[in-house]
Structure 1
Amino acid sequence: MKPTAIISGGTGGLGQAFGAILRANGWFTVILCLPGPQLDALRSTPDTLAIPCDITDSAALLEAAQVIREHRPSIDLVVYNAGITHIGPFTHQTLPDHRKVFEVNYFGAVAMAKEFGPDVRRSKGTHLAISSVAGFCPLALRTAYAGSKHALEGFFKSLRSEERQHGVSCLIAAPSFIATNTDAGTPKNSGIARPGSASDQVDAMTPAQAAETLYRGLKRRRDFIPIGRVARLSNWINRLSPGLYQRLMERAILAQASQKPGGQTTPHGL
């Protein structure tokens, strides 16, 4: 019987690409995402169960979990990939928008870990959190996003210590720029957007390239998986000199923002 992987936000660029790699290597994938044509298109994909689910809705998540358990004998991997970002200065940000980013990026992942944690223990499987360079480094004009990803990393690093004795792995991946939603844009009158749609990306990868690196890290059971040259350099520079990293980040992000009308940037894939 093929092992089962659950991927939240599985209709996005990275989610789709990673799901394809898993299936090519003998996995059965369960895709959790909001209803829509992208999810419907996956229903005919072999070795795939596509379930509409808002992971911030506890009742919907419980119903999805019951469907998964009815169809699959085990849950071996949970990939916490769903996420949104917020673009713009903190002073222009509403608290409801800030909370919304945390609801999806952090609390949605925590709710999934709570629901599927016993299943992963039984299979001695793996939690794989998709964080970001913004999960271990500062990122101007994305305060809510960076805050949520820092929280995500803190949660799964701590969970790792609790679950290791049960044979469970907790891995954290940190992609840099992935061009996944380049036609999405920022919704009018709102800083909430899908990651991966920014025009200020640096050395952006394709979803397929990022998914290949992610799969190699999964196979090697690496606790931390930097994805992309920017992620690797950011990790090295930030560890060596946090002040230097912050200055370089500000030069790259704030300088570009000052050149745009209104001093605003658009979403990116960190």
Structure 2
Amino acid sequence: MPVFRHKTVVITGACGGIGRALALRFGEGGARIALLDINSEQLAAFGEHLASRHIQAESYHCDVSNAEQVQRCFQHIIEDMGSVDVLINNAGITHHSCFADTDASVFRKTMDVNYFGALHCTQSALKSLIECEGQIITMSSMSGFAPLWYRSAYSASKHALHGLFDCLRVELREKGVHVMLVCPGYTATDIHKNALQADGAITSNPLEMTGKATIPKDVADEVYLAACKRKRLLVVSNVDWRARLFARLLPSFFERYLAHRVTGTVS
């Protein structure tokens, strides 16, 4: 489907996991890709990889938690590429720590990247998105509506994304801008290797995940198809359907018996 041919698609956290897969998928669909990431070396290498596959891409070093840096970055994107037709808010971090032991700085840092990062990018791209009647795609998580053990800061940031973008969808409907939230389940990315500990340091003992993982390419394929159809919510999960049903209809049962077994991540 040539829906995104010659469109500018901006992807944050573009060099790893789901972000990388999204860049490849939308690029294969004919889109021009603006890669945003905090890792300059990975940006350069991935930009070369896309070029070798004949995908037009520009790379931008950007810390999405820094509002001024984000604003400058989007000014450059519009100067270089003419517009922002699709914004994919994908950048995110996680932690693995009990609430009682977790320093408040971990909550602030998680919110700065996961929530305020998406907020900053959306504000900076909004004028162009309205002019193009474009799309905003925000990567949330199963933890945006189901509780997980030792993920209180991460889950809070995902709940905040739902509140923000559900409201924004209503405000932008008459302006022609479409908003979609995506909730992946356990996905095989490196996000947990860089998870924060209770004191804010990067973990020295990455969490061992159990169960079957979805691969980033499958998530990207689902997101691409859902974007073509302009869906409002996409749940991409290998979590058993009964677990999802219990989370909604029998939350007490879910909290007691299943929450510690269900994992959700983005990258």
Contact 1:34-1:54 at 8 Å conserved across structures: yes
C-alpha displacement of 1:240: 2.5
TM-score, structure 1 as length reference: 0.87
**Is there any run of 5+ residues in structure 2 with no aligned partner, and where?**
none
CA RMSD of superposed structures (Å): 2.3
Judge which range, 213-222 or 170-179, deviates more: 213-222
Q: Which among 121, 129, 133 is matched to residue 112 of structure 1? A: 121
Provide the identity percentage: 28
C-alpha displacement of 1:186: 4.7
Instruction: Give the match's secondary structure for 1:245.
Output: helix
1: distance between equivalents of 2:59 and 2:210? 30
Which residue identity does 1:216 align to in structure 2?
L
C-alpha displacement of 1:43: 2.7
2: distance between equivalents of 1:206 and 1:142? 21
Superposition pairs of residues 1-270 of structure 1, within 5 angstroms:
2-44=6-48, 45-46=50-51, 47-181=56-190, 184=193, 186=195, 190=199, 198-230=207-239, 233-252=242-261, 269=265
1:171-198 Cα distance to aligned partner (Å, 9 max, x none): 000000111117835567845659xx64
Contact 2:186-2:214 at 8 Å conserved across structures: yes
Instruction: Give the match's secondary structure for 2:46.
Output: helix
Instruction: Give the match's secondary structure for 1:203.
Output: coil
2: distance between equivalents of 1:35 and 1:242? 39
1:184-221 Cα distance to aligned partner (Å, 9 max, x none): 35567845659xx6412432111111111121211121
Once superposed, which parts of structure 1, at least 4 consecutive aligned residues long, lie more than 6 Å away? none
Contact 2:84-2:129 at 8 Å conserved across structures: yes
Instruction: Give the match's secondary structure for 2:65.
Output: coil
Contact 1:176-1:231 at 8 Å conserved across structures: no
2: distance between equivalents of 1:251 and 1:201? 11
Contact 1:133-1:234 at 8 Å conserved across structures: no
Contact 1:129-1:172 at 8 Å conserved across structures: yes
1: distance between equivalents of 2:61 and 2:256? 42
Contact 1:55-1:112 at 8 Å conserved across structures: yes
Aligned pair count reads 255
Contact 2:142-2:185 at 8 Å conserved across structures: yes
C-alpha displacement of 1:247: 2.5
The 3 A distance-change label for structure 1 pair 64 and 182 is closer
Judge which range, 60-69 or 163-172, deviates more: 60-69
2: distance between equivalents of 1:98 and 1:104? 10
**Is there any run of 5+ residues in structure 1 with no aligned partner, and where?**
254-266
1: distance between equivalents of 2:58 and 2:241? 34
1:115-164 Cα distance to aligned partner (Å, 9 max, x none): 11111111001110100001111112000000000001110001000000
